[in-house]
Chains A and B, each alone.
Chain A
Amino acid sequence: MTAQPVLPDGLVAIVKRECETCRMVEPVLSAIAATGAPLAVWVQDDPTFCVELGAVHDTDLAVSWHHDIGTVPTLISVRDGAEVERTIGWSRDEWRGITGMATLGADLPPTRPGCGSMSVDPDLIDGLRARFTGDVLVSRRVELSATEDEFEALFARGWTDGLPVVPPTRERVLRMLTGTTREPSEVVAIAPPDLVEMTVEKIAINAVMAGCLPEHLPWVIAALEAVCNDTFNMHGVLATTMPVGPVIVCNGPGTRAIGMNSGINAFGQGNRANSSIGRAVQLTIRNVGGGRPGEVDRATHGNPGKLSFCFAEDEDASPFPPLSVARGIEPGRNAVTVFAGEGPRCVVDQLARTPEELAASYAACLRTVHHPKLVIGFDAILVVSPDHGRILADAGWTREQLVDALDARLGTPGRDLARGAHGMAEGVPAHLASVESLPKFRPGGLLVAFAGGGAGLFSSIIAGWANGAIGSDPVTRAVGT
Protein backbone atom coordinates (compact mmCIF):
# COMPACT_ATOMS: atom_id res chain seq x y z
CA MET A 1 0.00 0.00 0.00
CA THR A 2 1.17 3.51 -0.73
CA ALA A 3 0.18 6.64 1.12
CA GLN A 4 -2.35 8.81 -0.64
CA PRO A 5 -0.42 11.41 -2.68
CA VAL A 6 -1.35 14.95 -1.71
CA LEU A 7 -2.30 17.31 -4.52
CA PRO A 8 -0.60 20.73 -4.49
CA ASP A 9 -2.70 23.86 -4.11
CA GLY A 10 -3.75 25.47 -7.36
CA LEU A 11 -4.83 23.61 -10.46
CA VAL A 12 -4.11 19.98 -11.13
CA ALA A 13 -4.60 18.25 -14.48
CA ILE A 14 -4.42 14.52 -15.15
CA VAL A 15 -3.96 13.58 -18.80
CA LYS A 16 -2.66 10.88 -21.12
CA ARG A 17 -1.20 11.26 -24.58
CA GLU A 18 -3.31 8.50 -26.04
CA CYS A 19 -6.41 10.62 -25.46
CA GLU A 20 -7.31 12.99 -28.29
CA THR A 21 -9.13 15.35 -25.95
CA CYS A 22 -6.02 15.52 -23.76
CA ARG A 23 -3.93 16.40 -26.78
CA MET A 24 -6.52 19.03 -27.73
CA VAL A 25 -6.31 20.72 -24.32
CA GLU A 26 -2.50 20.73 -24.18
CA PRO A 27 -2.42 24.34 -25.56
CA VAL A 28 -5.08 25.28 -22.99
CA LEU A 29 -2.85 23.95 -20.21
CA SER A 30 0.04 25.94 -21.70
CA ALA A 31 -2.14 29.05 -21.67
CA ILE A 32 -2.98 28.49 -18.00
CA ALA A 33 0.70 27.99 -17.16
CA ALA A 34 1.64 31.14 -19.08
CA THR A 35 -0.47 33.24 -16.70
CA GLY A 36 1.69 32.10 -13.84
CA ALA A 37 -1.21 30.31 -12.15
CA PRO A 38 0.01 27.31 -10.15
CA LEU A 39 -0.57 24.25 -12.33
CA ALA A 40 0.58 20.67 -11.76
CA VAL A 41 0.16 18.15 -14.55
CA TRP A 42 0.30 14.36 -14.17
CA VAL A 43 0.61 12.19 -17.25
CA GLN A 44 -0.57 8.59 -17.11
CA ASP A 45 1.09 7.09 -20.17
CA ASP A 46 3.88 8.88 -22.08
CA PRO A 47 6.26 10.75 -19.75
CA THR A 48 7.26 13.06 -22.62
CA PHE A 49 3.71 14.36 -23.00
CA CYS A 50 3.29 17.92 -21.63
CA VAL A 51 6.88 17.75 -20.47
CA GLU A 52 7.34 21.48 -21.17
CA LEU A 53 4.65 22.08 -18.56
CA GLY A 54 6.70 20.22 -15.99
CA ALA A 55 4.37 17.23 -16.17
CA VAL A 56 5.09 14.38 -13.80
CA HIS A 57 4.63 10.77 -14.86
CA ASP A 58 2.01 9.05 -12.72
CA THR A 59 4.18 5.97 -13.02
CA ASP A 60 2.23 3.55 -10.87
CA LEU A 61 -1.05 5.47 -11.31
CA ALA A 62 -1.06 6.19 -7.57
CA VAL A 63 -2.26 9.77 -8.05
CA SER A 64 -4.98 8.68 -10.45
CA TRP A 65 -6.10 5.81 -8.23
CA HIS A 66 -6.19 7.70 -4.98
CA HIS A 67 -7.99 10.69 -6.46
CA ASP A 68 -10.62 8.59 -8.24
CA ILE A 69 -9.76 9.70 -11.73
CA GLY A 70 -12.25 8.00 -14.03
CA THR A 71 -11.78 10.19 -17.10
CA VAL A 72 -8.94 12.14 -18.66
CA PRO A 73 -8.48 14.98 -18.86
CA THR A 74 -9.56 15.82 -15.34
CA LEU A 75 -8.98 19.33 -14.06
CA ILE A 76 -9.09 19.80 -10.30
CA SER A 77 -8.98 22.95 -8.21
CA VAL A 78 -7.16 22.47 -4.89
CA ARG A 79 -7.13 24.80 -1.95
CA ASP A 80 -5.41 24.17 1.41
CA GLY A 81 -4.62 20.64 0.32
CA ALA A 82 -8.25 19.78 -0.36
CA GLU A 83 -10.12 19.39 -3.59
CA VAL A 84 -12.61 22.19 -4.20
CA GLU A 85 -14.03 21.17 -7.55
CA ARG A 86 -13.23 19.18 -10.67
CA THR A 87 -14.31 18.86 -14.28
CA ILE A 88 -13.84 15.90 -16.57
CA GLY A 89 -13.30 15.91 -20.31
CA TRP A 90 -13.38 19.26 -22.01
CA SER A 91 -16.14 21.73 -21.20
CA ARG A 92 -15.15 25.27 -22.10
CA ASP A 93 -17.55 26.77 -19.58
CA GLU A 94 -16.41 24.54 -16.75
CA TRP A 95 -12.71 25.01 -17.47
CA ARG A 96 -13.28 28.78 -17.60
CA GLY A 97 -15.20 28.60 -14.33
CA ILE A 98 -12.51 26.62 -12.49
CA THR A 99 -9.60 28.68 -13.81
CA GLY A 100 -11.33 32.06 -13.72
CA MET A 101 -9.95 32.69 -17.23
CA ALA A 102 -12.84 34.06 -19.26
CA THR A 103 -11.35 33.57 -22.72
CA LEU A 104 -9.82 30.13 -22.21
CA GLY A 105 -10.06 27.77 -25.18
CA ALA A 106 -11.84 30.25 -27.44
CA ASP A 107 -10.72 28.35 -30.51
CA LEU A 108 -11.95 24.96 -29.23
CA PRO A 109 -15.41 23.43 -29.48
CA PRO A 110 -17.64 24.06 -26.45
CA THR A 111 -17.39 20.49 -25.22
CA ARG A 112 -15.61 17.26 -26.00
CA PRO A 113 -15.82 14.07 -23.96
CA GLY A 114 -12.64 12.73 -22.45
CA CYS A 115 -11.24 9.20 -22.45
CA GLY A 116 -11.12 6.49 -19.82
CA SER A 117 -8.47 6.91 -17.17
CA MET A 118 -5.80 4.20 -17.13
CA SER A 119 -6.59 3.74 -13.44
CA VAL A 120 -9.96 2.26 -14.38
CA ASP A 121 -8.66 0.17 -17.26
CA PRO A 122 -10.21 -3.27 -16.73
CA ASP A 123 -6.82 -4.88 -17.41
CA LEU A 124 -5.11 -2.80 -14.73
CA ILE A 125 -7.71 -2.12 -12.05
CA ASP A 126 -7.38 -5.41 -10.14
CA GLY A 127 -3.65 -4.96 -9.76
CA LEU A 128 -4.08 -1.34 -8.69
CA ARG A 129 -6.73 -2.28 -6.15
CA ALA A 130 -4.46 -4.92 -4.69
CA ARG A 131 -1.54 -2.49 -4.57
CA PHE A 132 -3.34 0.51 -3.14
CA THR A 133 -6.00 -1.04 -0.94
CA GLY A 134 -4.97 -1.30 2.66
CA ASP A 135 -4.22 -4.61 4.27
CA VAL A 136 -7.89 -5.43 4.69
CA LEU A 137 -7.45 -9.12 3.97
CA VAL A 138 -6.32 -11.14 6.94
CA SER A 139 -6.47 -14.67 5.52
CA ARG A 140 -3.27 -16.67 5.57
CA ARG A 141 -1.20 -16.21 2.42
CA VAL A 142 -0.32 -19.46 0.71
CA GLU A 143 2.61 -19.21 -1.67
CA LEU A 144 2.63 -21.70 -4.48
CA SER A 145 5.94 -22.43 -6.08
CA ALA A 146 6.55 -21.75 -9.75
CA THR A 147 6.90 -25.47 -10.36
CA GLU A 148 3.48 -26.18 -8.83
CA ASP A 149 0.42 -26.19 -11.04
CA GLU A 150 -1.96 -23.90 -9.15
CA PHE A 151 -5.06 -25.90 -10.04
CA GLU A 152 -3.49 -29.15 -8.92
CA ALA A 153 -2.21 -27.42 -5.78
CA LEU A 154 -5.76 -26.52 -4.79
CA PHE A 155 -6.90 -30.10 -5.34
CA ALA A 156 -3.96 -31.36 -3.31
CA ARG A 157 -4.93 -29.20 -0.34
CA GLY A 158 -8.46 -30.58 -0.34
CA TRP A 159 -10.07 -27.23 -1.12
CA THR A 160 -12.19 -28.18 -4.12
CA ASP A 161 -15.51 -29.93 -4.62
CA GLY A 162 -13.97 -32.29 -7.14
CA LEU A 163 -13.89 -29.79 -9.97
CA PRO A 164 -11.13 -27.26 -10.57
CA VAL A 165 -11.48 -23.94 -8.75
CA VAL A 166 -10.23 -20.48 -9.65
CA PRO A 167 -7.10 -19.73 -7.60
CA PRO A 168 -8.12 -17.06 -5.05
CA THR A 169 -5.40 -14.49 -5.51
CA ARG A 170 -5.51 -11.25 -3.55
CA GLU A 171 -6.39 -9.36 -6.74
CA ARG A 172 -9.36 -11.60 -7.45
CA VAL A 173 -10.62 -11.56 -3.88
CA LEU A 174 -10.44 -7.75 -3.70
CA ARG A 175 -12.35 -7.54 -6.98
CA MET A 176 -14.95 -9.95 -5.56
CA LEU A 177 -15.32 -7.72 -2.52
CA THR A 178 -16.35 -4.80 -4.74
CA GLY A 179 -19.63 -6.70 -5.08
CA THR A 180 -20.67 -5.94 -1.52
CA THR A 181 -20.76 -2.92 0.77
CA ARG A 182 -20.03 -5.13 3.75
CA GLU A 183 -16.65 -5.05 5.45
CA PRO A 184 -14.37 -8.03 4.77
CA SER A 185 -14.05 -8.60 8.50
CA GLU A 186 -17.79 -8.77 9.12
CA VAL A 187 -18.94 -12.12 10.49
CA VAL A 188 -21.90 -13.32 8.45
CA ALA A 189 -22.61 -16.57 10.28
CA ILE A 190 -21.09 -19.33 12.32
CA ALA A 191 -20.17 -22.03 9.83
CA PRO A 192 -21.11 -25.60 10.61
CA PRO A 193 -19.91 -28.16 11.38
CA ASP A 194 -16.75 -26.74 12.94
CA LEU A 195 -18.57 -23.64 14.26
CA VAL A 196 -16.03 -21.24 12.76
CA GLU A 197 -16.72 -17.55 12.20
CA MET A 198 -17.56 -17.08 8.52
CA THR A 199 -16.42 -13.62 7.44
CA VAL A 200 -17.26 -11.75 4.26
CA GLU A 201 -13.59 -12.20 3.30
CA LYS A 202 -13.74 -15.99 3.59
CA ILE A 203 -16.97 -16.06 1.61
CA ALA A 204 -15.39 -13.87 -1.08
CA ILE A 205 -12.41 -16.23 -1.32
CA ASN A 206 -14.69 -19.21 -1.82
CA ALA A 207 -16.86 -17.23 -4.26
CA VAL A 208 -13.75 -16.56 -6.37
CA MET A 209 -12.95 -20.26 -6.31
CA ALA A 210 -16.51 -21.13 -7.34
CA GLY A 211 -16.33 -18.85 -10.38
CA CYS A 212 -18.59 -16.08 -9.12
CA LEU A 213 -18.62 -12.51 -10.36
CA PRO A 214 -18.69 -9.69 -7.79
CA GLU A 215 -22.41 -9.10 -8.45
CA HIS A 216 -23.11 -12.68 -7.36
CA LEU A 217 -21.54 -12.14 -3.92
CA PRO A 218 -24.58 -10.59 -2.15
CA TRP A 219 -26.61 -13.64 -3.23
CA VAL A 220 -24.00 -16.02 -1.88
CA ILE A 221 -23.91 -14.11 1.41
CA ALA A 222 -27.71 -14.11 1.70
CA ALA A 223 -27.88 -17.84 0.98
CA LEU A 224 -25.23 -18.57 3.61
CA GLU A 225 -27.08 -16.44 6.16
CA ALA A 226 -30.20 -18.39 5.27
CA VAL A 227 -28.66 -21.84 5.77
CA CYS A 228 -26.41 -21.24 8.78
CA ASN A 229 -28.98 -21.08 11.57
CA ASP A 230 -31.00 -23.43 13.73
CA THR A 231 -34.07 -23.12 11.50
CA PHE A 232 -32.49 -24.39 8.30
CA ASN A 233 -29.99 -26.50 10.26
CA MET A 234 -27.15 -26.69 7.77
CA HIS A 235 -25.29 -28.91 10.21
CA GLY A 236 -27.94 -31.61 9.92
CA VAL A 237 -28.41 -31.14 6.18
CA LEU A 238 -24.69 -31.72 5.81
CA ALA A 239 -24.43 -34.62 8.21
CA THR A 240 -27.50 -36.58 7.15
CA THR A 241 -27.31 -39.86 5.31
CA MET A 242 -30.16 -38.62 3.10
CA PRO A 243 -29.31 -37.19 -0.34
CA VAL A 244 -30.13 -33.54 0.33
CA GLY A 245 -28.29 -30.28 0.02
CA PRO A 246 -29.23 -26.60 0.05
CA VAL A 247 -31.51 -25.84 -2.92
CA ILE A 248 -31.55 -22.10 -3.56
CA VAL A 249 -34.54 -20.44 -5.25
CA CYS A 250 -33.81 -16.83 -6.22
CA ASN A 251 -36.37 -14.06 -6.66
CA GLY A 252 -36.44 -10.39 -7.54
CA PRO A 253 -35.30 -8.09 -10.34
CA GLY A 254 -31.68 -8.82 -9.44
CA THR A 255 -32.01 -12.33 -10.82
CA ARG A 256 -32.39 -10.80 -14.29
CA ALA A 257 -29.68 -8.22 -13.66
CA ILE A 258 -27.10 -10.90 -12.88
CA GLY A 259 -28.28 -13.07 -15.75
CA MET A 260 -29.73 -15.98 -13.81
CA ASN A 261 -31.53 -18.69 -15.69
CA SER A 262 -35.18 -19.34 -14.89
CA GLY A 263 -36.00 -20.83 -18.29
CA ILE A 264 -34.68 -23.63 -20.45
CA ASN A 265 -32.55 -25.99 -18.35
CA ALA A 266 -33.02 -23.83 -15.25
CA PHE A 267 -31.75 -26.58 -12.92
CA GLY A 268 -29.01 -27.67 -15.28
CA GLN A 269 -25.61 -26.66 -16.46
CA GLY A 270 -24.59 -23.68 -18.54
CA ASN A 271 -25.48 -20.57 -16.56
CA ARG A 272 -22.69 -18.96 -14.62
CA ALA A 273 -24.78 -17.28 -11.92
CA ASN A 274 -26.91 -20.35 -11.22
CA SER A 275 -23.90 -22.64 -11.13
CA SER A 276 -21.45 -20.48 -9.23
CA ILE A 277 -23.75 -19.07 -6.53
CA GLY A 278 -24.82 -22.51 -5.37
CA ARG A 279 -21.29 -23.79 -5.71
CA ALA A 280 -19.90 -20.94 -3.61
CA VAL A 281 -22.33 -21.75 -0.81
CA GLN A 282 -21.22 -25.37 -0.75
CA LEU A 283 -17.51 -24.54 -1.06
CA THR A 284 -17.80 -22.14 1.87
CA ILE A 285 -19.42 -24.81 4.02
CA ARG A 286 -16.70 -27.24 2.94
CA ASN A 287 -13.74 -24.97 3.44
CA VAL A 288 -14.73 -22.59 6.24
CA GLY A 289 -17.04 -24.93 8.11
CA GLY A 290 -15.02 -28.06 7.44
CA GLY A 291 -18.00 -29.99 6.07
CA ARG A 292 -16.54 -32.65 3.80
CA PRO A 293 -18.03 -35.83 2.34
CA GLY A 294 -16.94 -38.90 4.27
CA GLU A 295 -16.24 -36.79 7.33
CA VAL A 296 -19.25 -34.95 8.73
CA ASP A 297 -21.10 -35.30 5.40
CA ARG A 298 -22.39 -38.89 5.68
CA ALA A 299 -24.76 -38.96 2.70
CA THR A 300 -25.48 -42.48 1.49
CA HIS A 301 -25.66 -41.38 -2.13
CA GLY A 302 -25.75 -37.61 -2.10
CA ASN A 303 -26.94 -36.00 -5.31
CA PRO A 304 -25.27 -34.03 -8.10
CA GLY A 305 -27.11 -30.91 -6.93
CA LYS A 306 -24.77 -30.80 -3.95
CA LEU A 307 -22.25 -29.22 -6.33
CA SER A 308 -24.81 -26.46 -6.94
CA PHE A 309 -28.58 -26.39 -7.09
CA CYS A 310 -29.62 -22.80 -7.58
CA PHE A 311 -32.15 -21.29 -9.96
CA ALA A 312 -34.37 -18.26 -10.39
CA GLU A 313 -38.13 -18.20 -10.57
CA ASP A 314 -39.57 -16.98 -13.87
CA GLU A 315 -41.55 -14.21 -12.23
CA ASP A 316 -42.59 -12.56 -15.49
CA ALA A 317 -44.36 -15.63 -16.85
CA SER A 318 -45.54 -17.08 -13.54
CA PRO A 319 -49.27 -17.20 -12.85
CA PHE A 320 -48.40 -16.83 -9.15
CA PRO A 321 -46.72 -14.12 -7.07
CA PRO A 322 -43.02 -14.80 -6.50
CA LEU A 323 -42.22 -17.53 -4.00
CA SER A 324 -40.37 -14.96 -1.87
CA VAL A 325 -43.50 -12.77 -1.73
CA ALA A 326 -45.62 -15.76 -0.77
CA ARG A 327 -43.12 -16.25 2.06
CA GLY A 328 -43.29 -12.70 3.38
CA ILE A 329 -40.73 -10.69 1.44
CA GLU A 330 -42.01 -7.43 -0.05
CA PRO A 331 -42.54 -7.42 -3.84
CA GLY A 332 -39.63 -6.18 -5.91
CA ARG A 333 -36.98 -7.18 -3.37
CA ASN A 334 -34.25 -9.63 -4.18
CA ALA A 335 -34.45 -12.71 -2.00
CA VAL A 336 -33.33 -16.28 -1.66
CA THR A 337 -35.33 -19.22 -0.37
CA VAL A 338 -33.23 -22.14 0.80
CA PHE A 339 -34.69 -25.63 0.95
CA ALA A 340 -33.03 -28.84 2.05
CA GLY A 341 -33.75 -30.82 -1.08
CA GLU A 342 -32.71 -33.79 -3.16
CA GLY A 343 -32.40 -33.83 -6.94
CA PRO A 344 -35.39 -32.89 -9.07
CA ARG A 345 -37.70 -35.53 -10.51
CA CYS A 346 -39.94 -35.05 -13.51
CA VAL A 347 -43.74 -35.15 -13.55
CA VAL A 348 -44.94 -35.99 -17.06
CA ASP A 349 -48.50 -35.11 -17.96
CA GLN A 350 -48.96 -34.27 -21.62
CA LEU A 351 -52.67 -34.91 -21.74
CA ALA A 352 -54.17 -32.89 -18.87
CA ARG A 353 -56.12 -29.87 -20.12
CA THR A 354 -57.84 -28.85 -16.90
CA PRO A 355 -56.31 -27.85 -13.59
CA GLU A 356 -58.19 -30.69 -11.89
CA GLU A 357 -56.60 -33.28 -14.18
CA LEU A 358 -53.21 -31.72 -13.66
CA ALA A 359 -53.63 -31.61 -9.88
CA ALA A 360 -54.54 -35.31 -9.91
CA SER A 361 -51.29 -36.12 -11.70
CA TYR A 362 -49.23 -33.88 -9.44
CA ALA A 363 -50.78 -35.49 -6.38
CA ALA A 364 -50.08 -39.02 -7.63
CA CYS A 365 -46.42 -38.16 -8.11
CA LEU A 366 -46.06 -36.10 -4.92
CA ARG A 367 -47.43 -39.04 -2.99
CA THR A 368 -44.25 -40.98 -3.74
CA VAL A 369 -41.94 -38.40 -2.14
CA HIS A 370 -39.40 -40.56 -0.27
CA HIS A 371 -41.98 -43.32 0.23
CA PRO A 372 -45.70 -43.49 -0.55
CA LYS A 373 -46.37 -44.61 3.00
CA LEU A 374 -44.38 -41.88 4.74
CA VAL A 375 -46.34 -38.68 5.35
CA ILE A 376 -46.08 -35.26 7.00
CA GLY A 377 -42.39 -35.61 7.83
CA PHE A 378 -40.98 -34.36 4.52
CA ASP A 379 -41.61 -31.13 2.60
CA ALA A 380 -41.35 -30.67 -1.17
CA ILE A 381 -41.14 -27.98 -3.82
CA LEU A 382 -43.33 -28.40 -6.87
CA VAL A 383 -41.77 -26.45 -9.75
CA VAL A 384 -44.49 -25.76 -12.30
CA SER A 385 -43.40 -25.35 -15.92
CA PRO A 386 -44.75 -22.73 -18.33
CA ASP A 387 -46.79 -25.28 -20.30
CA HIS A 388 -48.41 -26.61 -17.16
CA GLY A 389 -48.66 -23.12 -15.70
CA ARG A 390 -50.78 -22.04 -18.66
CA ILE A 391 -53.42 -24.63 -17.78
CA LEU A 392 -53.55 -23.28 -14.22
CA ALA A 393 -53.48 -19.64 -15.36
CA ASP A 394 -56.27 -20.12 -17.92
CA ALA A 395 -58.47 -21.44 -15.13
CA GLY A 396 -57.43 -18.58 -12.86
CA TRP A 397 -55.97 -20.84 -10.19
CA THR A 398 -53.93 -19.23 -7.46
CA ARG A 399 -51.01 -20.88 -5.70
CA GLU A 400 -53.25 -21.43 -2.68
CA GLN A 401 -55.95 -23.08 -4.82
CA LEU A 402 -53.38 -25.42 -6.30
CA VAL A 403 -52.01 -26.37 -2.89
CA ASP A 404 -55.53 -26.90 -1.55
CA ALA A 405 -56.42 -29.06 -4.56
CA LEU A 406 -53.30 -31.15 -3.98
CA ASP A 407 -54.00 -31.53 -0.27
CA ALA A 408 -57.54 -32.65 -1.12
CA ARG A 409 -56.12 -35.40 -3.33
CA LEU A 410 -53.30 -36.45 -1.02
CA GLY A 411 -55.24 -37.57 2.04
CA THR A 412 -54.76 -41.27 2.75
CA PRO A 413 -56.44 -43.55 5.32
CA GLY A 414 -54.09 -44.42 8.13
CA ARG A 415 -54.68 -48.15 7.57
CA ASP A 416 -53.06 -47.86 4.13
CA LEU A 417 -50.01 -46.13 5.57
CA ALA A 418 -49.42 -48.19 8.69
CA ARG A 419 -46.29 -50.25 9.02
CA GLY A 420 -46.83 -53.60 7.36
CA ALA A 421 -49.78 -52.47 5.24
CA HIS A 422 -49.62 -53.59 1.58
CA GLY A 423 -46.72 -55.87 2.37
CA MET A 424 -44.37 -53.00 3.12
CA ALA A 425 -42.70 -52.85 6.53
CA GLU A 426 -42.11 -49.13 6.11
CA GLY A 427 -44.91 -46.77 7.06
CA VAL A 428 -46.41 -44.72 9.85
CA PRO A 429 -46.59 -46.09 13.43
CA ALA A 430 -49.39 -48.56 14.13
CA HIS A 431 -51.33 -46.17 16.36
CA LEU A 432 -52.07 -44.01 13.30
CA ALA A 433 -53.77 -46.89 11.47
CA SER A 434 -57.14 -45.83 12.83
CA VAL A 435 -56.89 -42.26 11.53
CA GLU A 436 -59.44 -41.68 8.79
CA SER A 437 -57.15 -39.59 6.60
CA LEU A 438 -53.56 -38.42 6.93
CA PRO A 439 -52.18 -35.61 4.76
CA LYS A 440 -49.01 -36.17 2.74
CA PHE A 441 -47.62 -32.76 3.69
CA ARG A 442 -47.73 -30.74 6.89
CA PRO A 443 -49.43 -27.33 6.54
CA GLY A 444 -47.08 -25.12 4.51
CA GLY A 445 -44.91 -28.11 3.68
CA LEU A 446 -45.56 -27.96 -0.04
CA LEU A 447 -43.89 -25.02 -1.78
CA VAL A 448 -44.80 -24.05 -5.33
CA ALA A 449 -42.35 -22.32 -7.63
CA PHE A 450 -42.42 -21.55 -11.35
CA ALA A 451 -39.54 -22.08 -13.77
CA GLY A 452 -38.52 -23.91 -16.90
CA GLY A 453 -38.37 -23.67 -20.66
CA GLY A 454 -41.34 -22.71 -22.79
CA ALA A 455 -41.89 -26.17 -24.23
CA GLY A 456 -42.62 -29.31 -22.27
CA LEU A 457 -45.74 -30.46 -20.47
CA PHE A 458 -43.62 -31.49 -17.51
CA SER A 459 -43.22 -30.13 -14.02
CA SER A 460 -40.69 -31.03 -11.39
CA ILE A 461 -40.67 -32.14 -7.77
CA ILE A 462 -37.82 -31.46 -5.38
CA ALA A 463 -38.31 -33.61 -2.31
CA GLY A 464 -37.09 -32.39 1.06
CA TRP A 465 -35.60 -33.73 4.24
CA ALA A 466 -36.83 -34.30 7.80
CA ASN A 467 -38.83 -31.15 8.43
CA GLY A 468 -39.57 -28.90 11.33
CA ALA A 469 -37.74 -28.69 14.63
CA ILE A 470 -36.20 -32.13 14.29
CA GLY A 471 -34.77 -31.32 10.85
CA SER A 472 -34.96 -28.30 8.60
CA ASP A 473 -37.45 -25.58 7.75
CA PRO A 474 -37.13 -23.60 4.52
CA VAL A 475 -35.79 -20.08 5.09
CA THR A 476 -36.36 -17.00 2.94
CA ARG A 477 -34.08 -13.98 3.27
CA ALA A 478 -33.79 -10.67 1.47
CA VAL A 479 -30.54 -10.15 -0.43
CA GLY A 480 -28.52 -7.21 0.88
CA THR A 481 -25.88 -5.08 -0.78
Chain B
Amino acid sequence: MGPANQGITILDPTGESRPSTRTPLQRPGSVAGLTVGLLDISKPRGDKFLDRIEELLVERGATVMRFKKPTFTKPAPVDLRHEISISCNVVIEALAD
Protein backbone atom coordinates (compact mmCIF):
# COMPACT_ATOMS: atom_id res chain seq x y z
CA MET B 1 0.00 0.00 0.00
CA GLY B 2 1.22 3.47 -0.79
CA PRO B 3 1.79 6.35 1.57
CA ALA B 4 -1.22 7.56 3.51
CA ASN B 5 -1.97 10.40 1.13
CA GLN B 6 -2.28 8.12 -1.91
CA GLY B 7 -5.05 5.79 -2.94
CA ILE B 8 -4.51 2.07 -2.86
CA THR B 9 -4.00 -0.23 -5.81
CA ILE B 10 -6.06 -3.38 -5.97
CA LEU B 11 -6.15 -6.32 -8.33
CA ASP B 12 -9.06 -6.90 -10.68
CA PRO B 13 -11.10 -9.85 -9.36
CA THR B 14 -12.95 -10.43 -12.62
CA GLY B 15 -12.18 -12.72 -15.54
CA GLU B 16 -11.13 -9.59 -17.49
CA SER B 17 -12.85 -10.98 -20.55
CA ARG B 18 -14.92 -8.81 -22.81
CA PRO B 19 -17.68 -10.10 -25.02
CA SER B 20 -16.67 -9.80 -28.63
CA THR B 21 -18.65 -7.13 -30.38
CA ARG B 22 -20.98 -8.46 -33.02
CA THR B 23 -23.37 -6.53 -35.18
CA PRO B 24 -26.86 -8.04 -35.01
CA LEU B 25 -28.17 -9.34 -38.31
CA GLN B 26 -30.64 -7.15 -40.07
CA ARG B 27 -34.17 -8.00 -38.90
CA PRO B 28 -35.92 -9.83 -41.77
CA GLY B 29 -38.94 -8.00 -43.14
CA SER B 30 -40.75 -11.27 -43.67
CA VAL B 31 -40.17 -14.89 -42.76
CA ALA B 32 -41.41 -16.13 -46.13
CA GLY B 33 -38.77 -18.32 -47.70
CA LEU B 34 -36.54 -18.33 -44.62
CA THR B 35 -35.48 -21.37 -42.66
CA VAL B 36 -36.41 -20.82 -39.03
CA GLY B 37 -34.89 -23.01 -36.31
CA LEU B 38 -36.95 -23.67 -33.22
CA LEU B 39 -34.84 -24.70 -30.24
CA ASP B 40 -36.68 -26.60 -27.52
CA ILE B 41 -34.63 -26.26 -24.35
CA SER B 42 -36.38 -29.30 -22.82
CA LYS B 43 -38.51 -27.42 -20.33
CA PRO B 44 -41.89 -29.06 -19.73
CA ARG B 45 -44.45 -28.00 -22.34
CA GLY B 46 -41.89 -26.10 -24.37
CA ASP B 47 -42.91 -28.37 -27.25
CA LYS B 48 -46.53 -27.18 -26.99
CA PHE B 49 -45.42 -23.61 -27.31
CA LEU B 50 -43.14 -24.39 -30.24
CA ASP B 51 -45.81 -26.44 -32.04
CA ARG B 52 -48.01 -23.35 -32.16
CA ILE B 53 -45.14 -21.12 -33.23
CA GLU B 54 -44.33 -23.60 -36.00
CA GLU B 55 -47.92 -23.46 -37.26
CA LEU B 56 -47.82 -19.68 -37.38
CA LEU B 57 -44.46 -19.63 -39.14
CA VAL B 58 -45.51 -22.18 -41.76
CA GLU B 59 -48.64 -20.15 -42.44
CA ARG B 60 -46.33 -17.27 -43.24
CA GLY B 61 -44.23 -19.25 -45.69
CA ALA B 62 -41.27 -20.22 -43.53
CA THR B 63 -39.51 -23.56 -43.49
CA VAL B 64 -39.21 -24.75 -39.89
CA MET B 65 -36.48 -26.96 -38.42
CA ARG B 66 -36.85 -28.27 -34.87
CA PHE B 67 -33.93 -28.70 -32.48
CA LYS B 68 -33.77 -29.80 -28.86
CA LYS B 69 -31.22 -29.32 -26.10
CA PRO B 70 -30.60 -32.43 -23.97
CA THR B 71 -31.43 -30.49 -20.80
CA PHE B 72 -32.49 -26.98 -20.00
CA THR B 73 -29.93 -26.81 -17.17
CA LYS B 74 -26.87 -26.82 -19.39
CA PRO B 75 -25.75 -24.71 -22.33
CA ALA B 76 -26.56 -26.11 -25.76
CA PRO B 77 -23.81 -28.47 -26.94
CA VAL B 78 -21.33 -26.92 -29.34
CA ASP B 79 -22.30 -29.30 -32.16
CA LEU B 80 -25.96 -28.36 -31.85
CA ARG B 81 -25.16 -24.66 -31.95
CA HIS B 82 -23.04 -25.23 -35.04
CA GLU B 83 -25.76 -27.24 -36.75
CA ILE B 84 -28.31 -24.51 -36.11
CA SER B 85 -25.94 -21.83 -37.35
CA ILE B 86 -25.31 -23.53 -40.69
CA SER B 87 -28.85 -24.71 -41.41
CA CYS B 88 -31.04 -21.78 -40.35
CA ASN B 89 -31.49 -18.13 -41.22
CA VAL B 90 -33.25 -17.35 -37.95
CA VAL B 91 -33.55 -19.16 -34.63
CA ILE B 92 -36.19 -18.91 -31.91
CA GLU B 93 -35.31 -20.31 -28.47
CA ALA B 94 -38.24 -21.44 -26.36
CA LEU B 95 -38.70 -21.32 -22.63
CA ALA B 96 -41.84 -22.74 -21.12
CA ASP B 97 -43.20 -24.42 -18.01
Contacts and interface: CB of A to CB of B under 8 A. Distances in A.
B74 A236 contact: yes
A235 B6 CA distance: 40
Contact of A290 (B15, B42, B75): B15
Contacts of A471: 71, 73
Contact of B10 (A167, A233, A287, A469): A167
A196 interface: yes
The listed residue with most A CB atoms (<10 A of its CB), out of B1, B12, B14, B42, is B14
A167 B8 contact: yes
Contacts of B15: 191, 194, 196-198, 202, 287-290
A171 interface: yes
Q: How large is the interface on B (under 10, 10 to 19, 20 to 34, 35 or more residues)?
A: 20 to 34
Given A146-B6, A148-B7, A150-B8, A205 B74 contact: no
Contacts of A159: 13-14
A3 interface: no
A156 interface: no
Given A287-B15, A289-B15, A466 B73 contact: yes
A173 B11 contact: yes
A368 B1 CA distance: 54
Contacts of A167: 8, 10
Contacts, number: 99
Q: Is the interface of A mostly helix, strand, loop or mixed?
A: mixed
Given A139-B16, A169-B1, A196-B17, A470 B11 contact: no
Contacts of B13: 139, 159, 168, 202, 205-206, 209, 283, 287-288
B9 A235 contact: no
Interface in A145-159: 145-148, 150, 154, 159
Given A194-B17, A196-B17, A140 B73 contact: no
Contact of A170 (B7, B9, B42): B9
26 contacts: A140-B16, A141-B11, A142-B10, A142-B12, A143-B7, A143-B9, A146-B6, A147-B7, A150-B8, A150-B10, A154-B10, A169-B1, A169-B9, A170-B9, A170-B11, A171-B1, A198-B15, A201-B11, A202-B15, A205-B11, A206-B13, A233-B73, A287-B13, A288-B15, A470-B42, A470-B70
Interface of B: 1, 5-17, 42, 70-75
Enumerate the 5 nearest inter-chain pairs by beta-carbon distance, A residue then B residue, closest first.
A236-B73, A196-B15, A140-B12, A470-B71, A139-B11
